[in-house]
Amino acid sequence: MMRIRDFDEWHRMRPKRVVYTVGNFDGVHLGHQRLIEVLLGMARECGAVPVVVTFTGHPQQLEKKMDMPFLLTTSQARAELLSSFGIEVVFEPVFSEHLAAMEPETFLERLAGEGSVGFVVGDDFRFGAARRGGVEDVAGFLERTGNGRLAIVPGLQMDGDRISSTRIRSALARGDVALAARYLGREYRMDGTRKPGDRIGSSIGFPTVNLHGMETMLPANGVYLGSLQSAGLRYDAMLYIGVRPSVGGSEQRVEAHVLHAAPEIPPGASVSVSFRDRLRDEAVFADREALRAQLERDREEAKARLVASR
């Protein structure tokens, strides 16, 4: 995949015939996948290169000065997902204050110039300074420049709700990872590295792989059924997010207990976890024996759900 990061480079390398879609594409959820499907179809019909225009960073991070993990995908994970759906060129400038202040017409001129043959946008598409630009601005730009076709894609609905990155974040914030997975079209995944722990889990019969360095949103504190992936191998696992109040913890942790094996994963190795279903809320236990007993029940429940889902 070709990933281009700034406008000067884009102007040098921009293909002569391009069909564009523009958006944050955070999560690359089912609604985004529908846009990509239409984009690829139009590009084939026009003999053009399909290009996804997205951004490094997110408008809400800039506007609200967020320092907590907010995004559903890193830029690298997003690029990998886009590539898996057939996109070979991504233009992803940094979402800076300068870009945020750019007028809609200026953005379109700098992006497409005279080289576009079409745009594919969602029916709620907004862009440019103060989000003043919309579908009508894209249509006007194409009409003035003779630059091709416009496809307006309705939002994808599920159970009466429009699929969006915001709804996925809301689902994760309340621990509904199953709903997030339905909207994404896959289980929600977080990437990190293995960090040595204090072996409290091992002392009560529940050794864990501790994750460090995650850059994406954490689901709500609690215990989940999911999986652990490392070095091309996948393991069914119980996943824990929380501060470990039963052992006097205060630091937010992400830990994975593999259900059927004890994988050899060295400290510093790349690891990821995927969330399938929520088992329970975080809780405080009177002592470690009470904690161990609950974890035994959690493990049996996790295994039962695995059997039921296969």
Q: What is the pLDDT of residues 116-147, one digit of tens each?
A: 899 999 999 999 998 999 999 999 999 988 87
pTM of the model: 0.93
Listed in sequence order, the DSSP H helices in the chain are 7-13, 30-46, 59-64, 75-84, 97-100, 104-112, 135-145, 165-173, 177-184, 200-203, 288-308
Burial class of 134 by CB neighbour count within 10 A (0 to 12, 13 to 18, 19+): middle
pLDDT of residue 82: 98
Burial class of 309 by CB neighbour count within 10 A (0 to 12, 13 to 18, 19+): exposed
**Residue 22 region by backbone torsions, left for phi larger than 0, else alpha for psi between -120 and 50, else beta:** beta
Please check whether residue 238 is in contact with residue 224, taking contact to mean a CB–CB distance below 8 angstroms. yes
pLDDT surpassing 60 at residue 67: no
Among 230, 13, 66, CA closest to 26: 66
Computed from CA positions of residues 170, 68, 185, 234, in that sequence, does the dihedral angle turn out positive or negative?
negative
Helices 135-145 and 104-112 meet at what angle, rounded to 10?
A: 50
Q: Class assignment of domain 187-308? A: mainly beta
Residue 272, token pair as written in the block: 């990821």
Q: How many Å apart are CA 73 and CA 71, to the nearest integer?
A: 6
Angle (CA) 163 166 171, round 5°: 85
Task: Give me the count of residues in the chain.
Answer: 310
Mean per-residue pLDDT over the chain, rounded = 92
Q: Quote the DSSP letter at residue 129.
A: G
pLDDT surpassing 60 at residue 158: yes
Same fold, 15-162 and 187-308: no
The answer to whether domain 15-162 has CATH 3.40.50.10800 is no
* Segment 96-104 mean pLDDT: 91
pLDDT surpassing 70 at residue 64: no
Residue ranges of domains in the chain? 15-162, 187-308
pLDDT tens digits, 77-90: 999 999 999 999 99
pLDDT tens digits, 163-204: 999 999 999 999 999 999 999 999 999 999 999 877 777 888
Among 20, 24, 21, 22, CA closest to 165: 24
